[in-house]
Chain A
Amino acid sequence: MPKYIEFPKGGQAHIVENVWHLSRLEDVAVQDLPGQFVLLSFSYWLKNQTALIACGKKVGVFFQVKDDVLEDRQLILDSMKHWAILAVDFPQFRDGRGFSTAAILRQQFAWSGPLHAIGDVLIDQLVQMARVGFDAFELRPDQHLETALVQLNRFPVKMQNDWRSERTLQAVHP
């Protein structure tokens, strides 16, 4: 079973088995989705939500760069109770839109469940991802998970508030 890195807020990063079945197909029928834990695109959710709620599987939803979470704000807020996890897809590691999507989901939508980074997720993006709100990293298959784990403890200080805690400056200079 593939693995991913879980790094809960306030906790330690560690490697876990990935039970989630990612499906990028838009036209597959709900009953044909494999596994009990399905991770689906937001657009798939919109087309199939009644069947998905009824199917008894755990459902997670991922946002793509084409999704504007602010435009669909109400839809997302109304659906959140049906979602076990959320994810943000990085089509290319250089595409930084997903960082803002994650920050918005945490700050403005008060999403407190797991938030996975999926797609072109590389070792050297994890520090920033962990700070904007991601707590699970499904790295690209060629990435070395042990090397990735090391990165998450690199910076004992920081200059900005983030999802995990406030900036270090504040604590040390009362």
Chain B
Amino acid sequence: MYQYDQIDQTLVDARVEEFTDQVNRRLNGTLPEEEFRILRLQNGLYHQRHAYMLRIAIPYGILSAKQLQQLAMIADTYDRGYGHFTTRQNIQFNWLKLEDSPAILRDLAQVQMHAIQTSGNVVRNITSDPFAGVASDEVVDPRPICELLRQWSTLHPEFAHLPRKFKIAVTAADEDRAVILAHDLGIRLKKNPANTLVADIYAGGGMGRTPLIGSLVKENLPWQQLPSYLNALLRVYNRYGRRDNLYKARIKILVKSLTPEIFAQDVEEEWARNTQRKEDFMQHEWERVAKSFTRPNYRNLPNLLEQQIMAMAPQAEQKTFLKWLQRNTKKHQVSGYMSVVLSLKVHGQTAAGDASAAQMRAIAAFASQYSFHEIRVTHEQNLVLADVEQSRLFELYTELKSQGLAHANIGLLTDMIVCPGGDFCSLANAKSIPIAQSIAAQFEDLDYLFDLGDMSLNISGCINSCDHHHVANIGILGVDKDGSEWYQITLGGAQGNATAIGKVIGPSFTAAQIPQVIQIIIQTFVAARFDGESFIETFNRIGIEPFKKNVYEQVTKESLIA
């Protein structure tokens, strides 16, 4: 993975000192909270219901074992012994003191980590495919571009006070695992017919109150020109994005109101006015960065069949091991290797995406032992060991099991994406974690889940939609109605190449009704399902009506609200 050079380290260290000074001025009363708030947010520090929360960037989702150990240390020293991995490849600590934040940032800087631009109205942490560099369907390796963009966006002086936050995701595989169409800016890297690296740019996607799918605004942009093009695009947004209404300030509103065609044209014109384009990436910059992303020292191994891998487990364990193999491992580019997904969705035990300090240390050790000292973080709030030898899968599985990390539910109903919700977040209208736990409790039978197949269920505690419920097959949104918590259900959303926005099925439900509602939705699916269909395939075939009808006819009549 990428290693900081002197420049990266100097910059991060200087930022720590700057933030330390800002915290000191806040504490001695010379910097008022209203002004400090903007500064702390630009450094990932939120003030939540109970304490300060720090969101730390894991750029494009890649962590070293050493970094994960440091995160475990931070969890133990400054927090309550755990951390929360987010949908945008960050980790959050929820129980911090403001006074400790400079020390935490110093500890992070020691392992080449930071919290720069993980919040605030700035270009946020750039996310990408958690299987970058190893995915079997990859067209090019997106990591060098991700790193160059990380550098380009870090403390960019012109875009420190955008109308609203700005999230960029990059993908470079056949299947989009970075949800680029639901981002303010999506970048799809590909090779053009001349075999050079180019980018398609999608702008104006996003969730929230007005969920929209990104529009293609630029095709075949040579990779070198990303900085000048993105500067032009962000300048158009910075100048013309709405600042009068928080809910209309994201770039999606600008793109929609101008139309994608006019927006694209405005960007082209701004780009054309920059005749020098000296900010564009140079070949030697690429080469310096790309050196960090060469292939690790893979062994020359034969590719094993599933049967051969399964045979490494004792007879009694083969059935459960096979389930794990089928759900929690992914094909690799290199013969004899697979990527392994560690589920952070252990039923009923923790909030989705949470890992204890002990688990972090164990995972760091597994990464060193099995996967070239590296860990990836997924949009679905799980972790990945990207380079595991097939012949060691059972050994790893056994170790993961001992840490409660081998739950074979990846991509299944209980692999829910769940925001911290009303238990922590001061923006939330409703709790998310207890809803997730009540659903998980109801679908504990792994065989049943397995039969239901691929399905996504996301829960957001408010319309900010941090958990992308709009693009989940089953979306649950917490809403506030006269001071009590209600939940609205959407169906038919999808992420990836076939990104779609889910449709609301009708009036909201109480927390107590949700498990039953989900049960009815699943029964409707099972009854209508053709052999082998996934939930979304059945939904797209039969539409929302049968679900709606069954849910509202069958749900126990408590008070429904409009």
A interface residues with partner B (beta carbon < 8 Å): 68, 93-97, 99-101, 103-104, 107-108, 122, 124-125, 127-129, 131-132, 144, 147, 150-151, 154-162, 166-170, 172-174
Question: Chain A residues with Cβ under 8 A from B38's Cβ?
Answer: 93-94
User: Given A156-B10, A167-B279, 14 other A-B contacts at CB below 8 A?
Assistant: A96-B159, A99-B161, A99-B238, A100-B158, A108-B273, A144-B30, A150-B21, A154-B18, A155-B15, A158-B155, A159-B11, A159-B156, A169-B285, A172-B7
- Best-surrounded residue of A97, A108, A131, A151 (most CB of chain B within 10 A): A97
- Interface size classification for chain B: 35 or more
Q: Is B532 among interface residues, defined by CB-CB distance under 8 A?
A: no
B160 touches A155 (CB 8 A): no
B160 touches A96 (CB 8 A): yes
Bound-state Cα–Cα, A66 to B51, Å: 39
A159 touches B35 (CB 8 A): no
22 contacts between A and B (CB under 8 A): A94-B38, A95-B243, A96-B162, A97-B239, A99-B158, A103-B158, A103-B235, A104-B235, A122-B35, A127-B157, A147-B25, A147-B30, A155-B14, A155-B155, A156-B10, A159-B7, A160-B152, A160-B156, A160-B227, A167-B279, A170-B285, A172-B6
Nearest neighbor of B284 in chain A, beta-carbon distance: A173
A132 touches B238 (CB 8 A): no
Q: Produce 1/0 per residue, B169-205, CB < 8 A to A.
A: 0000000000000000000000000000000000000
B interface residues with partner A (beta carbon < 8 Å): 5-7, 10-11, 14-15, 17-18, 21-22, 25, 30-31, 35, 38-39, 121, 151-152, 154-163, 227, 235, 238-239, 243, 273-274, 278-279, 282, 284-285, 288
Nearest neighbor of A163 in chain B, beta-carbon distance: B157
A172, chain B: closest CB distance, angstroms: 6
Bound-state Cα–Cα, A16 to B121, Å: 33
Bound-state Cα–Cα, A30 to B273, Å: 36
Bound-state Cα–Cα, A100 to B5, Å: 30
A159 touches B154 (CB 8 A): yes
Question: Chain B residues with Cβ under 8 A from A103's Cβ?
Answer: 158, 235
B117, chain A: closest CB distance, angstroms: 12
Nearest neighbor of A162 in chain B, beta-carbon distance: B157
A134, chain B: closest CB distance, angstroms: 10
Nearest neighbor of A173 in chain B, beta-carbon distance: B288
Bound-state Cα–Cα, A20 to B365, Å: 64
Bound-state Cα–Cα, A97 to B237, Å: 9
B279 touches A154 (CB 8 A): no
A122, chain B: closest CB distance, angstroms: 6
A132 touches B274 (CB 8 A): no
Question: Chain A residues with Cβ under 8 A from B239's Cβ?
Answer: 68, 97, 100-101
B282 touches A132 (CB 8 A): no
- Best-surrounded residue of B35, B121, B285 (most CB of chain A within 10 A): B35
Bound-state Cα–Cα, A75 to B15, Å: 40
A121, chain B: closest CB distance, angstroms: 12
B480, chain A: closest CB distance, angstroms: 27
A157 touches B14 (CB 8 A): yes
B157 touches A128 (CB 8 A): yes
B235 touches A100 (CB 8 A): yes
Question: Chain A residues with Cβ under 8 A from B15's Cβ?
Answer: 155
Bound-state Cα–Cα, A173 to B235, Å: 28
Question: Chain B residues with Cβ under 8 A from A128's Cβ?
Answer: 155, 157-158, 160
B105, chain A: closest CB distance, angstroms: 15
- Known contacts A160-B152, A161-B278, A169-B151: A100-B238 contact under CB 8 Å: yes
Question: Chain B residues with Cβ under 8 A from A108's Cβ?
Answer: 273-274
Question: Chain A residues with Cβ under 8 A from B25's Cβ?
Answer: 147
B285 touches A159 (CB 8 A): no
